[in-house]
Amino acid sequence: MAGVGPLMLLDTASLYYRAFYGVPETLTAPDGTPVNAVRGLLDMIARLVRARHPGRLVACLDADWRPAFRVAAIPSYKAHRARADGTEEAPPSLTAQVPVIEEVLAAMGVPMAGAPGYEADDVIGTLATRAAGPVEIVTGDRDLFQLVDDARPIRVIYTARGLTKLDVVDEAAVEERYGIPGRAYADFAVLRGDPSDGLPGVPGVGDKTAAALIRSFGTIAAITTALDMGHGGFPKSSRPKLAAARDYLTAALPVVRVATDAPVPAADGRLPAVPANPARLDELDARWDLGSSLRRACAALAGS
């Protein structure tokens, strides 16, 4: 029955990037334009809806892939992925498909959500925080592990191994992977850094030391307090490294933490039993030859 399953929040860019690299570019529209990301995402939505049975679903979008407040705090944030004009470096054949994806989702009636000045992660964090019931976050991005909360429950459906081998990440899974309490992932990520996002981390502090620090102190705030007060309890040789990175620790936490109060418009999330704009959807199908991928996605949404 519709409405009884969890709220499913799609990290849409994460999914269409995975589709783009996982589906051959030989999948094209009649004019030869690649549509592998479009069709791959539609197939993902169909499989997810059938496998997980969400009661509501929202495709969350980046309104700003590199928000100013994060760059101001850590200038290296995603800098290696920025073009001279400030747009994100991406294959042109993928960039061209993003507006098509948004048009197709709109015509299908799939609810979408974004917020000016914020990333999709922040939209997801905000909608998950607002939700009254269970939430499933579908992503290939480990940063969203910080939202996992068994009490709500909020879980991450992690796509790193593909949609045929989805990892359901709860607090126990975070603890098993990293040796830290389930909800401490953001503080852990600050310490170890993330080169893919241009987040340097504390030089000389890797996964094991970062995990030991989190187990000892719990949070970045507690670590910096211990540094300032001259307390002990630091793993061997880590205190001078942390002291040298004191300013970074203060600046990085708001960069890594997902916003939970972004100005996201209310999103109903109801799965469309019928397309919102059938005529436009037919036009898009004819233009891009979305074929069986579109039919499977529409059927899955209607059947849920």
pLDDT tens digits, residue range 38-68?
Answer: 999 999 999 999 999 999 999 999 999 999 9
pLDDT tens digits, residue range 225-238?
Answer: 999 998 888 988 89
pLDDT tens digits, residue range 256-303?
Answer: 999 999 999 998 899 999 999 999 999 999 999 999 999 999 999 998
Angle at 11 between CA 9 and CA 15, to 5 degrees: 125
* Whether the predicted pLDDT of 188 surpasses 80: yes
Neighbours of 133 (CB within 10 A): 13
* Whether the predicted pLDDT of 165 surpasses 90: no
Find residue 10's DSSP bridge partners.
59, 138
Beta-strand pair 112-113/135-139: unpaired
Euclidean distance between CA atoms 229 and 157, whole angstroms: 40
pLDDT band at 166 (very low <50, low <70, confident <90, very high): confident
Residue listed under structure tokens 């992977």: 177
* Whether the predicted pLDDT of 163 surpasses 80: no
Task: Please report, for residues 19, 40, 57, 214, the alpha-carbon distance to residue 43 in angstroms, rounded to integers and kept in the order given.
Answer: 9, 5, 15, 39
Q: What is the pTM of this model?
A: 0.95
Residues 6+ away with beta carbon under 8 Å from 186: 143, 146, 253, 256, 257, 258
Beta-strand pair 167-169/112-113: unpaired
Count of all residues that appear for the chain in the document: 304
**Average pLDDT, rounded, for the chain:** 94
pLDDT (average), residues 155-168: 85
pLDDT tens digits, residue range 142-155?
Answer: 999 999 999 999 99
Task: Please report, for residues 98, 164, 290, the alpha-carbon distance to residue 296 in angstroms, rounded to integers and kept in the order given.
Answer: 20, 16, 10
Kindly state the percentage of the chain with pLDDT values over 90: 90
Helix (H) or strand (E) holding 44: helix 36-52
Which tokens sit at 104? 């197709």
pLDDT tens digits, residue range 206-224?
Answer: 999 999 999 999 999 999 9
Helix 291-303 vs helix 36-52: crossing angle, to nearest 10: 20
pLDDT (average), residues 96-102: 97
Euclidean distance between CA atoms 197 and 81, whole angstroms: 8
